[in-house]
Each structure stands twice: as C-alpha cells, then as structure tokens.
A and B are shown apart, each in its own frame.
Chain A
Amino acid sequence: MRRRIRRRYAAERRFRLLGLGAILLSAAFLAFLLVTMVSNGLGGFRQTEIRVDIDFAANTLSAASAGGEIEAAVAAAAEAQYGPGGARALSDTAWLRVERAIEDDPSILARKKALWLPAASAIDGAAKGDGDGEAEALVTRLEQDDAIRTGFNTDFLTGADATDPAAVGIWGAFKGSLLTMLVTLAIAFPVGVLSAVYLEEYAPRNRWTDMIEVSINNLAAVPSIIFGLLGLAVFLNTFHLPRSAPLVGGLTLALMTMPVIVIAGRNAIKSVPPSIRDAALGIGASKVQVVFHHVLPLALPGILTGTIIGMARALGETAPLLMIGMRAFIATPPDGITSPASVLPVQIFLWSDEVSRGFVEKTSAAIIVLLAFLLAMNGLAIFLRNKFERRW
C-alpha cells in the first residue's frame, strides 16, 4: 500500500519535472534567439561618424551646386585631412548630409565648418570591433585625432532601403508593413466578424453549414505560399492591380487572416451564455439588437485577441508576398497603398541576401524592429482583452 503511494508520488514529481523541463527548454531557445539578435543587432542602431573639416570658402560650392560637385568637394576635403584613402573612409552617401547642412544653413558656405559625416561600412565595422587591419589602423589614427564617434543612427529609423549598408533605413519597410496591415485589417476584420456572427447566430444547422465550417478550418491551415499564388493569379493577373503594392499584399494576407478571425470569433460568440440572449429576447429585443447590444460586446475581447494574433501572423509573413512582387528594391517609402512597397520580413530577407558585410548587423537590427512591432501588437491584444473582459 505504502509502496503504491510512494510510486504515485514519484510519478507526480516526475511529471512536474518534465513540465518544468519543457518550459525551461523553450525559454532557453527564446533567450538564445533574443541574445543573438540583440548582440548582433544593437550595432545596427549605431553609426560611426567621422569629422571632416570642409573649408567652404575655399571651394566653389554654392547653394545651387549639383550632387556631383558636392561629392567631389567632400572627397577632396577628406583626402586633404586624412591622406589618400580618406575619401573611401566615408560612406557613399556622406555628401547628402553636407547638402542637407548647406540647405539648413546657407551661411556656412562662407566659412570653414567641421561636419560629422557617416563612415563607410568597413570603417563602421572596424570601429565596432569587426574589421580588417587597414580599416582598424585608420580608426586608431582617427581616434587619436578625436575625429571619430559612434552615435545613435537616426537615419536607420527614418530612411528607406539603400545599397550602402551605412545608409539603409527601416522606415520604408515599416510603413509598407503598416499600410499592408491596414488593408488586411479593413478587409479581414469586418468580413471575419460578420461571418462568425452569421454562422453562430443565424445559420441553420445542416450539412451545408457543417461543410462551410470544415472548409474554414481547412483554410486556416493552408500553407501561406498557396495564398500567394492565389493572390498572383487573382489580384495581379485577373484584376491587374499594381505589382508590389501594399493593396495587393493586404488583400492576400486578408485571405489568410480571415479564417483565423472567423474561428476565434465563433468561439468567442459561443462562449456568451445563452441566458443573456434569452433575457434580451424576453424583454422584446430584436435579433439584431441582441447581437449588437449584448452578444458582440461580450464576445469582443475574444474576437480582438483572435484578430490581433491573426494580424501578428500576417505581419511576419514573407512567402505569399514574394509571389506578388513585394521583394523589390525600393528606395523611397511608399506614399499610398498602391505605390510599391516592401514589408519588414521581406526587407529582412532581402538584406540577409546582400553581398556587403555591413548588412549583417542591419539584418539583425531590422529583426529587432520587427520583434518590437510584434510585441507591441501582442501587448495591445492583452490590454484590450483585459479592458473589455467581463466575468460572470
């Protein structure tokens, strides 16, 4: 008897330890992912800058100078100050900052001015401790002159894609993601919620509704690439909507998100106690009033949670967007849902495929931005659920 009890306790302990082990394992994986991303990616938010003294009075630059002239003047100033190779220490886009400085304050054209300009990615790497001998030697020399600094990279948060890792930004892809999600939400949420309401409250129980239910469950499990092919065939080839546009991306992802919303919505509506419906009907409310005044508000937290989880999945989706041409190089942030755009996960995919080594840390930095976006969305889901939740 006692032995049996001991055995039962032992089994209990074993099971508890197994569960704990499973949690620890998944936490370890998550921690590993986060630590690698953060340690690789933090550098991406920082940018090395080099001080260049440009004597505007001595050169022929004016407020109307073309880009090429400014570029040449900056290169000449860098060579004069840091010797041959000085121009190569600066990023290809360094002259843009000089142009901006001239626009902001034309009076600098008459005097000598020290400007902090972005460094080329080889120097950037060396300053962060990952570079070759030549670049490191230059960095040491610059450090002695106090002519190099590493600061927060605001261009990364406000710029769009570029070919030079020192000049890339995430805003273009972020805005593309935002617009795509907007289209997805605008289509998938109303359609999903209305289908859920109809199926739960109005549809008769027969073989047809059973079939629809099975189809919806199936649809939720279809691999996303299939939706991409569907989007390519329907939206691009049949309706001739613009390629690479957030509109098409949003429509495609809406198809993918809708079943998730329908399933979550039905479950939420199902969990509203029938007594509430009966009471409302009993005091003479119409069916529509019952649904909109009582059932939906009570089911809302569940529906919203489902929606946001579906949206979060759509946000991280890459495969279907590749099919509809959202993998293009686009150097300007989109200005509407029909202008070509990229999205965060696709941008990460594109950068991971780049030749230049400076893109490695930018890729990780973009992943951090994507994770932060996802975290914000999931946080919103939890907030909404807690705010609207009602217990009985």
Chain B
Amino acid sequence: MEASLKIQILVASVATLALGACGSGEPGSGTAQLQIVGSSTVYPFTTAVAEQFQRTNAGMSAIVESTGTGAGMKLFCAGVGDNFPDMTNASRRIKKSEFDDCAKNGVKTIIEVPVGIDGLALIEARNAPGFQLTVADVYKAVAANPFGKPNTARTWRDVNPSLPAIPIRVFGPPSTSGTRDSFAELILEKGCESDPAMKALKESDKDKHKDLCTKVREDGAWVDAGENDNLLVQKVTQDPGAVGILGYSFLEENADKVRGIPLNGIAPTAETISALSYPGARQVYVYAKGEHVNAVPGMKEFLAEYSKAWGKGGYLERRGLIPSPADVQAKAVQAATQLTALSADGLK
C-alpha cells in the first residue's frame, strides 16, 4: 500500500510538471521577436547587432540562426507570416531565381542592405614555404576538369612550373556554405575565364560553363572541411604545405598561426579587401522582408542599429567586418532607413 502511494505521488508530480509546462506555454509571451536566418559568414556580425539591439530596445529580441545563405534564402522566401523569418543574412547577392521564388510566395518587397565587406582568404601555416598564387593556378589545381580535361595535377609544380613540388591539398568550405559560393564565383570562375574558350562557352552553354568552371575535384586533393572554420585553421597549421580557404576574420584572429596567401600578387590585408582589390573580397548583405515591417515591431530599429554599427570604428569592424566604401554605405543607410524595395533589374 505504501508503494502505491509513492506511485500516486509520482504520477501526480509528473502530471503537475506537464500542466506547469503547458501553463507557461501560453502563446504570445509579449516580447517582440525578430527571426533571422542565413549565412554563417554574416552570423557573427548579425549576432553582435542583435545583442546591442536587445540592450537598447527593452522588450525586443532577435534570434539568429546560422543556416547558410542558400538555405536561409529558401526559408526567407517560403512565405509571409509568423512562421517565416523576418530577415536573412547573405554572403552574396540574392539570385534572380530566389527573387522570383520569393515573389511567387508573396514576398514582394525585399529590402536589400549591403552591410559591409567580408574577405575570403587563402591561408597556409606560418611555417609553410610561402605560396604566391594566381586565381588561374588555384583553378587549375582544384577544378575537377580544368578547361575541359580531367585534372591530373598532383603537385603545385604540375600546375605552374614556378611553384614548389608540394602535393596539392586544399581544405575548403562544403558546397552548402556561402563561402564556397563566393570561392566558386570570385576565384574559380575568374581563373577559369583566363581561357577565352571558357568565356565563349559561357555565352553558348551556361550549364557546361558552370560545370567546368566551378566543380571541384573529388580525388582527395580538395577536402570539404565542414562549416567549422576553427577546425580548418587547426588542420592547416598541422599540415604545412596545405592551403585553406576561409573568411578573412578567421585569418585576422589566428594571425599567429596562419598567414594569408597572396593572389595575383595581392596579399589579403584589411586595405586590399576594403578596396575589393584582393580577389577574395566580397560584399555581404542582409535582406529584410518589407511585408513584415509593420507587423513585426523592431525591424526598423534593428536595421537602424545595424547602420550605426557598420561604419569605421563601429563594433562590427572590431569583429572583422570591413566597412564598405562611402558611396555604398550611403546607399545602404538609405535602404535601411527608407526601406526601399529591391527591384529585379540587375540580379543574376
């Protein structure tokens, strides 16, 4: 009998727990919450802004999820309403196909805010020989079929006789990553188009061009290193002669362990990246959903907070975001404050 009492107590306490849990789960807890998804590269900047935003606007908060640019766009464009994110981070411009997809699902007013520049850098260990590469070298070393022929290069010397005979090992981001998209666009495609035949192919057969120019080899010379960039730094340090590809902020943070590899004679530094002269520099964006601006309190404040933070000396610069040139910044401030909708012209 005593034991059955214990059971009853147990059942009762579990039931109370369940009820208590339901009780606290009443919908509409009163706080405004922005939902932000998207690129892992922009994530550290957006979280910093979110934190500051939360501090200065009592009762409002933003949750930021790092999904990758492509997946973020897909979520962002899935529709309008509570269950869809209010903003998405992107490490490249929105594509025409994504814009159309958005419009189809009722997301017609997209506000594009270029928040700054992120540098993609090629790195090597500090005790490595010191590469001097061109975008064409990189393309020839890691493409699956450089200029249409299967890749047989084993060492960097096979790619370019002036390079050392070190086996090609490149650690790079996986295909789901925005950094990979940028790498393909900024470095592989440029290297690929050093051959006029490839440039011509772009006009005649777009798909073939894309396949030849951006597909990386799968025989072990290229290693997908996952989204964990710290791990990538570790792998490169332990393997002198290997090349890593990651965001510039990681290079800056780990400057005592790895160094940047000059591309086309330009080393990745804060200056070359800000001027977009280093081939790996790119503009990063935050896209906001115009349909939500009036329904979700805090969106305007969030964009305003962002525009305060991205300037020279702002806290985003300390975190590795490089301020855009003044004219781009002026345009961005205008977009963030007047909430001008993006038009489809000029999108690829």
Contacts and interface: CB of A to CB of B under 8 A. Distances in A.
B115 to A, nearest CB: 15
Given A190-B14, A337-B24, A355-B253, A327 B7 contact: no
B43 interface: yes
Contacts of B137: none
Contact of B44 (A163, A243, A293): A163
Interface string A143-166: 000000000000000000011000
Given A327-B65, A355-B250, A357-B253, A336 B25 contact: yes
Contacts of A179: 21
A186 B18 contact: yes
Contacts of B22: 337
B179 to A, nearest CB: 13
Contact of B229 (A132, A330, A355): A355
A337 B25 contact: yes
Interface in B190-242: 227-230
A345 interface: no
Contact of A185 (B3, B14, B47, B66): B14
A182 interface: yes
Contacts of A336: 24-26, 29
B268 to A, nearest CB: 16
Contacts of B27: 338
Interface string B1-41: 10110110011001001101110111101010101000000
Interface residues of B, number: 48
Contacts of A49: none
B96 interface: no
Interface in A325-345: 325, 327-332, 335-340
A300 interface: yes
Interface in A301-343: 325, 327-332, 335-340
Contacts of B55: 67, 96
A352 B18 CA distance: 33
B315 A92 contact: yes
Contacts of B3: 293, 297-298, 300, 388
Interface stretch (B56-64, B285-293, B323-331, B339-347): B56-64
Contact of B64 (A182, A293, A329): A329
Nearest to A390: B3
Contacts of A331: 50-51, 54, 61
B91 interface: no
Contacts of A52: none
A91 interface: no
Nearest to A336: B24
Among B6, B17, B24, B256, residue most surrounded by chain A Cβ atoms (within 10 Å): B24
B275 interface: no
Contacts of A177: none
A183 interface: yes
A186 B21 contact: yes
B229 A353 contact: yes
A183 B18 CA distance: 7
A49 to B, nearest CB: 21
Contacts of A388: 3, 6
B165 interface: no
Contacts of A327: 65-66
Contacts of B14: 185-186, 189-190
B83 A240 contact: yes
B63 A330 contact: yes
Contact of A353 (B18, B61, B63, B228): B228
B56 A67 contact: yes
Interface string A344-370: 000000001111110000000000000
Contacts of A163: 44, 47-48, 51, 319
A297 B7 contact: yes
Interface in B42-80: 43-44, 47-48, 50-51, 54-56, 61, 63-66
Contacts of A240: 83
Contacts of B244: none
A339 B32 CA distance: 11
B320 interface: yes
A139 interface: no
A329 B63 contact: yes
A131 B315 CA distance: 22
B6 A297 contact: yes
Contacts of B64: 328-329
B4 A293 contact: yes
A117 B214 CA distance: 50
Contact of B83 (A66, A243, A247, A335): A243
Contacts of A162: 51
A185 B17 contact: yes
A292 interface: yes
B177 interface: no
A293 B51 contact: no
A329 B50 contact: yes
Contacts of A340: 33, 63
A231 to B, nearest CB: 15
B134 interface: no
A132 B255 CA distance: 11
A296 interface: yes
A328 B63 contact: yes
Interface string A218-248: 0000000000000000001000101110010
Contact of A293 (B1, B24, B230): B1
Contact of B65 (A92, A132, A325): A325
Contacts of B26: 336, 338
Nearest to B28: A338
A189 B54 CA distance: 38
Given A162-B51, A353-B229, A329 B17 contact: no
Contact of B249 (A66, A132, A185, A355): A355
A186 B12 CA distance: 11
25 contacts: A182-B20, A242-B83, A296-B7, A297-B4, A300-B6, A300-B10, A325-B65, A328-B63, A328-B64, A329-B50, A329-B63, A329-B64, A330-B63, A331-B61, A332-B54, A335-B29, A337-B22, A339-B29, A339-B31, A340-B33, A340-B63, A355-B249, A355-B250, A357-B253, A388-B6
Given A162-B51, A330-B61, 8 more contacts: A92-B315, A163-B44, A190-B11, A243-B35, A336-B26, A339-B31, A339-B33, A340-B33
